[in-house]
Structure 1
């Protein structure tokens, strides 16, 4: 991997938002073509943490409790009347991802892949089992 997340050293500089985004985009590139075909208009954003309004909307109090969020309507619920709506967005929250990485010891690249696929799963309205199968399909 040349995306800045190939070294899983216990000490060192935490990956930047750019490195996390590059890895998430690599995960998306490995999705089956049928899924990639429906992600062209979805915006991927890596932010430091969720803002207070976002946290309140999902019923959370602390920004480190939210690693990712999908904003939009699942593909199966879209209609022609959606024109003019904000584009669908996948938000990854760097600080929460890094905190979970430190707390769990899960490899950071695996964690970013998990969060990315989970949010993509919401875009498609997938069940948790379907999300797991999709995550297995993109595993390195």
Structure 2
């Protein structure tokens, strides 16, 4: 996808929704209740919570209770949310030259992995197996 101007929040959301639609149906059905939200950048509270100083270091975030920790007896407090951060994604896109759709898809899938209870190390191992 070529853009004359930087992709907007809606452009990133469209890419994320297309990537989500390509996830195999059995997996996608387990994530269906999660909202996909695109914001410009993480806020100060999120950075502090994650122990980060630089907002460019966080391209996405899963907020919710991983499936591995959920019980049918739980009362949902808030819906699970997959956050994608536009500005850090665009910066990584510029720095790496990676295809933007592929980058958005990878960030989305990383956060979906957290929904399934995978750690960053687990996800890194899975990503390494595909190479």
- TM-score, shorter chain, exceeding 0.5: yes
The Cα RMSD (Å) is 1.6
Q: SS at 1:90's partner residue?
A: strand
Work out the CA distance in 1 between the residues paired with 2:44 and 2:77: 23
SS at match of 2:62: strand
Q: Does 1:37 align with 2:29?
A: yes
1:99 aligns with 2:91: yes
State the 1:33 CA deviation.
1.0
Unaligned segments of structure 2, at least 5 residues: none
Q: What's the offset of the Cα at 1:34?
A: 1.1
Structure 2: distance between partners of 1:84 and 1:41: 11
Q: How big is the shift at 1:107?
A: 1.2
Runs of 4+ in 1 over 3 A off after TM superposition: none
Q: Which runs of 5+ in 1 are unaligned?
A: 1-5
Q: How many residues end up aligned between the 2 structures?
A: 125
2 CA distance for matches of 1:65 and 1:76?
27
Instruction: Output aligned runs, 1:43-54, within 5 Å.
Output: 43-54=35-46
Residues 49-88 of structure 1: CA distance to partner in whole angstroms, max 9, x if unpaired?
Answer: 0000000001101211110000011112101343141111
